[in-house]
């Protein structure tokens, strides 16, 4: 209860300030007294500002200091093997800046220089090869925008509404423009004749860090759209995202996007590593479990308003905004409900999203100040419709942990304060 009380007080203070400034629904308000920010000479309009080179690599202005990754400490035993969350509630558009894109490490983020980087391709190949970073830069490369979602995103919400903020319920995701080499190019360089029939072959990929985080990927996927990436959003990958080279496995769970990629082995069976058996498998209610659940199904969430983004401007024009994505392809449609799923209206897409990338949607409405139960529902090009939590539980129970792509509900009260809830 302490948490909601604090949130209410903060939001209330913000809200009342907005009201005092004269927000009246529907019309631009008349101004009774002049605004001193306009009528008085301000320091920034008189003194000079920062010169060039003061920050050779710039950070966001300090007023944005709350737009940062956050951790939920009780989730894991140690921050070295843990996860934090992208502040999706405070971002707009679709591209996630690297500096606030969520991190997930199994043995901590390592410093691996380009000069110490080696990539080995071995196993059932004609010529086992080793590449340096400089070698990789000589292969033809491509640019693609893809989302990377941890399989555990929204995993804390299976049994009920738990974490109060879009950052925490849906922030294990980021969306970047990658520059990289198709994995098939490197596999072809090593030669796949030795593998024979490729239809039952796999690649096993592993990282250079202490966890090595090995995963098996079916050859079909490896030869399709998997990238060996070394740039994100135009610049080098960050240390925490696998500098200098990571794997990009479009549409598939983030755990397979091996960071600090050091080895790709062609095998004749799945390795069944720790990360694909004991973890990242989905336990049913009857005690059996699903494995090889790689694709991240269509999902969406309203990022604002949300618990960390209360409505502070009172009634009138309100932009409801959110993100939708699907590991099966493009998002074709997003519907928004303000009454907990009884009635739906189709939202406007910011622009046609790329396949397996985030799509931004907007629902522009006139808020009359009455409470809302906000939901969004995504559909993708395969015709799949994002399910409700009830539908998911009916098939999977409550112990699956991973791959929870349910419809999220935010309760917004008369004051504009939002809360993570479940509805009937």
Partner 1 sequence: MSKSLNLFLPALGGAALLLGAGYGIASRDYGRSTIDTLAVRVEQTEASVAAAVAQAQAAEATAIAAAAERDTLQQALAEAGSRGGDLTAPAPASTASYGLGRDAHPDEMAAWDVDVLPDGRGLPPGSGDVWTGEELFVQQCAACHGDFAEGVDNWPVLAGGMDTLADEDPVKTVGSYWPYLSTAWDYIHRSMPFGAAGTLTADETYAIVAYILYSNYLVEDDFVLSHETFADVDMYNADGFVIDDRPELEYTQWRGEPCMTDCKSAVEITMRSSVLGVTPDTDTEATLQDDASADTTMVSASASGDDAGLDGGNVDPELVAAGERAFRQCASCHEVGPGASNRVGPMLNGIIGSTIGTIDGFRYSGTFQNAASAGEVWNADNLGAFLADPDGTMEGTRMAFRGVRDEAEITALIAYLETFGGE
Quote the CA–CA distance of 325 and 147 in Å, as a whole number: 8
Dihedral, CA of residue 61, residue 66, residue 71 and residue 72, to nearest 10: 180
Non-local (6+) Cβ contacts of 213 within 8 A are 106, 206, 207, 255, 258, 259, 275
Task: Using the minimum distance from each CB to partner 1, give the nearer residue, 174 or 299.
Answer: 299
Measured distance CA(419)–CA(165) in Å, rounded: 8
- Separation of alpha carbons 164 and 389, rounded Å: 17
189-228: contacts with partner 1 (CB under 8 A): 189, 191, 204, 206, 210-212, 214
Q: Six-digit token pair at 170?
A: 């849906």
Structure tokens at 119: 């990539």
| x/- letters, 300..339, toward partner 1 (CB under 8 A) | -------xx--------------------------x---x
Maximum C-alpha span of the chain: 82
Tell me how crowded residue 69 is: count the other CB atoms within 10 A of its CB.
18
- Please identify, using beta-carbon distances, which residue of 25 and 224 lies nearer to partner 1: 224
Q: Considering the complex, what minimum distance in angstroms separates the CB of residue 47 from partner 1?
A: 12
- Residue whose C-alpha is closest to residue 304's, from 156, 98, 92: 92
Check if the beta carbon of residue 194 is closer than 8 Å to that of residue 124: yes
Please give the residues from 25 up to 54 whose contact with partner 1 meets the rule CB under 8 A. Answer: none
The enclosing H or E element of 130 equals strand 129-132
Minimal distance, residue 167 CB to partner 1, in Å? 8
Residue 309 neighbours by CB under 8 Å, 6+ apart = 89, 90, 166, 303, 418
Least distance in angstroms from the C-beta of 270 to partner 1: 8
Taking CB under 8 A as the rule, which mask of x and - marks residues 340-359 in contact with partner 1? xxxxxx--------------
Does 297 engage in binding with partner 1 (CB under 8 A)?
yes
Q: Shortest Cβ distance from residue 377 to partner 1 (Å)?
A: 7
Minimum CB separation from partner 1 for residue 394, in Å? 10
Between 148 and 161, CB nearer to partner 1:
161
Under 8 Å CB-to-CB from 297, ≥6 apart: which residues?
A: 326, 327, 328, 384, 386, 403, 405
Number of residues that bind partner 1 (CB under 8 A): 119
Question: 23 or 110: whose CB is closer to partner 1?
Answer: 110
Distance of closest approach, residue 71 Cβ to partner 1, in angstroms: 7
Shortest reach from residue 209's CB to partner 1, in Å: 9
Q: Which of residues 275-294 bind partner 1 (CB under 8 A)?
A: 277-278, 281, 283, 285-294
Interface with partner 1 in residues 87-116 (CB under 8 A): 106-108, 111
Task: Pick the binder of partner 1 from 263, 299, 356, 360 (CB under 8 A).
Answer: 263
**Beta carbons of 410 and 318 less than 8 angstroms apart:** no
Q: How far is the CB of 152 from partner 1 (least distance, A)?
A: 14
Asked whether position 265 contacts partner 1 by CB under 8 A, the answer is: yes
Query: Residues near 191 by Cβ (< 8 Å), separated by ≥ 6?
Result: 125, 126, 127
CA–CA separation, 61 and 123 (whole Å): 49
Please give the DSSP secondary-structure letter assigned to residue 341. Answer: T
Give the shortest CB-360-to-partner 1 separation in angstroms: 21
Binding residues among 363-422 for partner 1 as defined by CB under 8 A: 373, 377, 379, 382-387, 391, 395, 398-399, 411, 419-422
Contact between 238 and partner 1 per CB under 8 A: no
Near partner 1 in 117-136, by CB under 8 A: 120-123, 127-132, 135
Within positions 60 to 89, which residues make up the interface with partner 1, using CB under 8 A?
A: 62-63, 65-66, 70-78, 80-81
Question: In terms of residues, how long is the chain?
Answer: 424
């Amino acid at each position: 209860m302490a948490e909601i009380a604090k949130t209410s007080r903060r939001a209330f203070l913000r809200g009342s300030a907005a009201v005092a400034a004269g927000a009246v629904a529907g019309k631009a308000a008349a101004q009774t007294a002049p605004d001193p920010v306009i009528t008085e000479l301000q320091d920034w309009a008189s003194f000079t500002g920062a010169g060039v080179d003061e920050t050779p690599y710039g950070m966001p202005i300090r007023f944005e200091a709350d737009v940062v990754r956050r951790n939920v400490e009780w989730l894991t035993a140690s921050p070295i093997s843990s996860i934090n969350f992208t502040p999706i509630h405070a971002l707009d558009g679709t591209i996630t800046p690297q500096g606030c894109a969520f991190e997930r490490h199994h043995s901590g983020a390592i410093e691996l220089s380009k000069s110490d980087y080696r990539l080995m391709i071995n196993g059932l190949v004609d010529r086992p090869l080793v590449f340096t970073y400089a070698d990789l830069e000589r292969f033809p490369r491509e640019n693609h925008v893809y989302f990377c979602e941890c399989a555990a995103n929204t995993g804390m919400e299976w049994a009920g509404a738990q974490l109060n903020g879009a950052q925490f319920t849906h922030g294990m995701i980021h969306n970047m423009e990658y520059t990289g080499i198709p994995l098939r190019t490197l596999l072809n360089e090593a030669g796949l004749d030795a593998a024979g029939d490729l239809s039952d072959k796999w690649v096993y990929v592993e990282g250079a860090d202490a966890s090595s985080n090995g995963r098996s990927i079916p050859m079909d996927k490896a030869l399709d759209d998997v990238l060996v990436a070394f740039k994100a959003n135009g610049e080098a990958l960050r240390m925490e995202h696998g500098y200098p080279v990571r794997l990009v496995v479009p549409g598939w769970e983030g755990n397979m996007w091996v960071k600090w990629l050091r080895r790709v082995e062609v095998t004749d069976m799945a390795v069944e590593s720790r990360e694909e058996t004991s973890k990242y498998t989905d336990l049913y209610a009857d005690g059996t479990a699903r494995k090889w659940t790689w694709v991240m199904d269509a999902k969406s969430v309203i990022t604002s308003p949300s618990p960390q983004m209360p409505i502070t401007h009172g009634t009138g024009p309100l932009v409801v905004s959110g993100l939708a994505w699907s590991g099966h392809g493009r998002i074709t449609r997003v519907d928004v409900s303000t009454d907990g799923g009884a009635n739906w209206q189709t939202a406007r897409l910011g622009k046609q999203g790329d396949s397996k990338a985030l799509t931004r949607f907007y629902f522009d409405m006139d808020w009359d100040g009455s409470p809302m139960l906000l939901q969004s529902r995504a559909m993708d090009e395969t015709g799949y419709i994002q399910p409700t939590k009830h539908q998911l539980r009916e098939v999977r129970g409550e112990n699956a942990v991973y791959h929870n792509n349910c419809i999220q509900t935010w309760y917004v009260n008369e004051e504009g304060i939002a809360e993570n809830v479940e509805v009937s």
